[in-house]
Amino acid sequence: MKTMIKLSHIHKVFGDLHVLKDVNLEVGEGEKLVIIGPSGSGKSTTVRCMNFLEVPTSGKVFINGTEVTPKNRLKVIRENTSMVFQSFNLYPHLDVMHNLTLAPVKIHHKSEAEARELARHYLQVVGLENKANAYPAALSGGQQQRIAIARALCQQSKIMLFDEPTSALDPETIQEVLDVMVKLAEESNITMVVVTHEMGFARKVADRVVFMEDGRIIEEGTPDELFDHPKSERVKQFLGKILNH
Amino acid sequence: MFGNMFSARAWELVWSFRGTFLLGFWHTLLTSILAIAMSLALGLIFGLMSSGTKTSLKAVARVYVEFIQNTPLLLQICFLYYALSFSGHGIGILASGIISIGLYHGAYMSEVFRAGIQSIPKGQFESAEAQGFGYVGMMRYIILPQTVKVVLPPMTNQIVNLIKNTSVLYIIGGTDLISNTYSFVTGVNTGGAYGPAYLVCGALFFVMCYPLSRAATIWETSLKKRDQMSAAKE
Ligand SMILES: Nc1ncnc2c1ncn2[C@@H]1O[C@H](COP(=O)(O)OP(=O)(O)OP(=O)(O)O)[C@@H](O)[C@H]1O
Ligand SMILES: [Mg+2]
């Protein structure tokens, strides 16, 4: 299997805070990787290093075979990655259609017509084709996040990064977003890296689960291995807490 | 000379010198338009610099803003006009006025833009970056359009202040609206028609400033209405 993402000896330091301590990780093409771990363990920072939203203090990031540097970062991102955030981050001054077509038109140099075609297709995928003309403020959290997923899909990237995509949602709307993500995971060959606390989702779609603590990857394995037969005491503890919620 | 400041005779005098007022109006308008353009350009550039991450650029912007904001405009215009004239590189009254007023209000505009850009949530910048937008594209398509709502009221305020501040041209012998009005009322043949002259002058300023304020208010209201409508739709 081709390696799409490779983190090699990544360290990240914020001021006095050593947030990532020698993180090594490889994600294969089409693989669905879930990252779990307690708050502050460095999950977000790890994913954000993959598209250089955070520049690692040391270590190397390879995307689709290319080493990412501050210089080629934009080019590598444009060609390979898209991201879905916890807080949706839709562009509030643009309606849904323009949220979706902005990057295809301005970054990927598609014609307006092509971009709209693409947008309509992915709106259908997330089940919101009737919202093309709405502004983000008019949508519920779950709908906004589905639009954000559609926007990321419009970039037609090989890699999609998700940083806690359902953590800011009301419990009733979490499922509609998870359903879209499951569909994506099952029907597409997109490489997905998902930070989440949704264990049901992880079990269903993850090829591999990574547990982080205090800036390190402590354990990794298939969902069955990690959830049912965790090796380290720390993972057992964490899962106990999460599952009893 | 005139028993009544507002006598018909005084109004006639103003009317017969209408050319002086119109010329003043024209010079004030011209100075304002060019100085506004300059202050917006400077404000945008320095506002971007001071809201960015490069500390060197931030420092440069800071020096400009602090220096301009903490010295009088009158001093700046005198310096530009007289210092250059006496060193043999005079650029003329109008150009001196446009540049010094543009520089002065550019510093205030810079703060307006900086505040506007800094009011945009961090997630918007990250979203743009994650989509592959570079700095220019991000600012142009994503960040700056969102600042309009925030920037509009203080920007209009600055523009109106700028128009009124063209009166500093008086000190370097300008022929703007205030200077011409003042020359008129203090002139040998024209003296005494204070009331009508100042009223006309004020009316001409009002004609320039009020439509601007109104237009900005209407624009702002329509932006707010769009937000409310989109939020209420669901
Ligand atoms: N820009 C930053 N500046 C300073 N410290 C930061 C920054 N970003 C993250 N940190 C710190 O780094 C540590 C790891 O943060 P990170 O967001 O990666 O954790 P996380 O595992 O995603 O946690 P959570 O589950 O709460 O999202 C935290 O202590 C956080 O406070
Ligand atoms: Mg996080």
Mean pLDDT over each residue of chain A, to the nearest integer: 95
Q: pTM for this one?
A: 0.91
CA dihedral angle for residue B35, residue B36, residue B37, residue B42, rounded to 10 degrees:
90
Neighbours of ion ligand 2 (CB under 5 A): A 44
Domains, chain B, in order of start with CATH, read 8-233 (1.10.3720.10)
Backbone Cα Rg of chain A: 18
Amino acid at B38: M
Q: Which two tokens stand for residue B195?
A: 């009331």
CB contact under 8 A, B233 and A138: yes
CB of B134 less than 8 A from some CB of A? yes
Q: Are strands A3-14 and A58-63 parallel, antiparallel or unpaired?
A: antiparallel
CB of A235 less than 8 A from some CB of B? no
Name which of A244, A237, A166 is nearest A202 in CA terms. Answer: A166
Mean pLDDT over each residue of chain B, to the nearest integer: 90
Q: Which helix (H) or strand (E) holds A188?
A: none
Query: Which of A7, A19, A211 most suits a substitution to test ligand 1, by most atoms within 8 Å of the C-beta?
Result: A19
Count helices and strands (H / E) in chain B.
Answer: 11, 0
Nearest-neighbour CA in chain A from B221: distance (Å) = 15
Read off the pLDDT of each residue in A220-240 and give the average, rounded to a whole number.
92
Q: Is A212:A43 a contact under the CB 8 Å cutoff?
A: yes
Q: Which two tokens stand for residue A237?
A: 């503890």
Is residue B2 over pLDDT 50?
A: no
Is residue B190 over pLDDT 90?
A: no
Q: Is B83:B13 a contact under the CB 8 Å cutoff?
A: no
Q: Which two tokens stand for residue A112?
A: 């307006």
Would you say the CB of residue A196 lies under 6 angstroms from ligand 1? Answer: no
Distance of CA A201 to the CA centre of its chain: 14
Read off the pLDDT of each residue in A90-101 and give the average, rounded to a whole number.
97
Q: Which helix (H) or strand (E) holds A6?
A: strand A3-14
Using DSSP's 3-state secondary structure scheme, residue B186 falls into: helix
Read off the pLDDT of each residue in A113-137 and give the average, rounded to a whole number.
96
Name which of B142, B166, B156, B169 is nearest B210 in CA terms. Answer: B156
Q: Would you call A4 exposed, middle or buried from its count of C-beta atoms within 10 A (0-12, 13-18, 19+)?
A: buried
Kindly write down the DSSP assignment for every residue of A224-238, as one continuous string. Answer: IIIIIS-SSHHHHHH
pLDDT of residue A29: 96
pLDDT of residue A206: 96
Report the percentage of chain A scoring pLDDT > 90: 96
Contact list, B234 vs chain A (CB under 8 Å): 134, 138-140
DSSP one-letter code for A95: -
Amino acid at A194: V
Strand order in the sheet with A3-14: A17-28, A3-14, A58-63, A66-67
Q: If you measure CA to CA, which chain A residue comes closest to B233?
A: A138
How far is Cα B185 from Cα B224, in angstroms, rounded to an integer?
Answer: 46
Mean pLDDT lowest for which of B87-101, B129-143, B165-179, B190-204? B190-204
User: Which B residues 139-198 touch A at CB under 8 Å?
Assistant: 141-142, 145-146
pLDDT digits (tens, 9 = 90+) for A39-87: 999 999 999 999 999 999 999 999 999 999 999 999 999 999 999 999 9
Q: How many residues does chain B have?
A: 234
Is residue B3 over pLDDT 80?
A: no
Q: Which two tokens stand for residue A118?
A: 């693409």
pLDDT of residue B5: 67
Query: Which of A7, A13, A44 most suits a substitution to test ligand 1, by most atoms within 8 Å of the C-beta?
Result: A44
Q: Which two tokens stand for residue B202?
A: 């004020």
How far is Cα B204 from Cα B196, in angstroms, rounded to an integer?
Answer: 12
pLDDT digits (tens, 9 = 90+) for B53-103: 899 999 999 999 999 999 999 999 999 999 888 888 888 899 999 999 999
Q: Is B178:B166 a contact under the CB 8 Å cutoff?
A: yes
pLDDT band of B234, cuts 50, 70, 90:
very low
pLDDT of residue A244: 65
Is residue B164 over pLDDT 80?
A: yes
Q: Is B184:B158 a contact under the CB 8 Å cutoff?
A: no
Q: If you measure CA to CA, which chain B residue comes closest to A151?
A: B131
Percent composition of chain B: helix, strand, coil (DSSP 3-state, to 5): 85, 0, 15
Q: Is B26:B87 a contact under the CB 8 Å cutoff?
A: no
Name which of B20, B56, B4 is nearest B190 in CA terms. Answer: B20
Cβ-based contacts under 8 A for chains A and B: 70
B206: left (phi over 0), alpha (psi -120 to 50) or beta: alpha
Is residue B233 over pLDDT 70?
A: no
Amino acid at B202: G
How far is Cα A47 from Cα A49, in angstroms, rounded to an integer?
Answer: 5
How far is Cα A67 from Cα B136, in angstroms, rounded to an integer?
Answer: 24
Using DSSP's 3-state secondary structure scheme, residue A190 falls into: coil
Is residue B230 over pLDDT 70?
A: no
Amino acid at B166: T
How far is Cα A191 from Cα B13, in angstroms, rounded to an integer?
Answer: 83
